[in-house]
Amino acid sequence: MSRIAYVNGRYLPRHAAMVHIEDRGYQFSDGVYEVCEVRAGRMVDERRHMARLQRSLSELRMGMPMSAAALGLVMRETIRRNRVRDGIVYLQVTRGVARRDHAFPPAGTAPAIVITARNLDQATIERTASDGIAVITVPDNRWVRVDIKTIGLLPNVLAKQAARDRGAKEAWFVDAQGMVTEGASTNAWIVTAGGTVVTRPADNKILRGITRSVLIDALAEQGLAFEERAFTLDEAFAAREAFVTSASQTVMPVVRIDGRSVGNGAPGPVATALRRNFHHHSEWV
Ligand code: PLP
């Protein structure tokens, strides 16, 4: 089946879906994006994703390209046209097309919108989750506003490739203070020897993951001990469990960090249960 992309008001076959060479996303990474999980054909946690999109745009002094409700409709139509059942929908908004100049383009320049959707191989993801993943660590060399979900992801690209080169699935950024910030495309969590679930506060050194925020609500509902604080790499080495979260993988157990086993080297019971129950806590539209 040929895939369809939404590009600036039109649904186009993927081979014909193009953006302009002077799109500011292409030239300056001047844009933001969202990735929502699709489950049983329905978008997961749309409300939270739209709120984050609105915040990212406003931090870059951009407006919503259309109302959140209208964007939701287009995303659902893109999901439908691509017959996505379990996968992701990707949305990107840039500051539009204009002659190359670092400062903002003239007022009235239309933003450029691209939406794509695809199925993900759930059997492979489940197999990965039951094995758990290895992560490596890299110095956090990103700018100080990674709370904005911009399409400028070069450090994340390099970190993910470093992980791949070392046979791992994810890279954790570690800041100059020796604290783990987050993964290249995930938020980072540990479960301490005492059984407390820990993740870094949503400051400007991490992306405010939607999966992260849903999981924090889930932990409260399940009465699990939880601390929102930065943790060191040494704490992660000594943790009973570790895991990462993202919209495309929900809760993914981590079984090795820089080649050292976490806990007994197998996915732990807390991460496994949180993964199993995650969708009882998320909102499906
Ligand atoms: N941190 C980074 C750097 C990410 O790129 C992502 C997802 O793309 C996340 C965290 C997880 O965010 P979410 O749960 O909204 O997918």
Give CA–CA dist 18/16, Å, rounded.
6
The answer to whether the CB of 197 falls within 8 A of the CB of 224 is yes
Pairing mode, if any, of strands 187-191 and 197-199?
antiparallel
Tokens read off for 195? 């059984």
When pLDDT is cut at 50, 70 and 90, the band that residue 284 belongs to is confident
Kindly report the average pLDDT of the chain as a whole number.
Answer: 97
For 60-93, what is each residue's pLDDT tens digit? Answer: 999 999 999 999 999 999 999 999 999 999 999 9
Residue ranges around ligand 1 (CB below 6 Å): 35, 156, 182, 185-187, 207, 209-212, 245-247
pLDDT 10s digits, 186-222: 999 999 999 999 999 999 999 999 999 999 999 999 9
Q: How far, in Å, from the CA of 120 to the mean position of ligand 1? A: 17
* Ligand 1 pocket test, candidate residues 156, 207, 212, 282, most atoms within 8 A of CB: 207
Quote the CA–CA distance of 243 and 270 in Å, as a whole number: 9
What are the b/e assignments for 169-191, b being 16+ CB within 10 Å? bbbbbbeeeebbbbbbbbbbbbb
- pLDDT at position 285 over 80: no
pTM, full prediction: 0.97
Catalytic residue check, 149? yes
pLDDT band at residue 2 using 50, 70 and 90 as cut-offs: confident
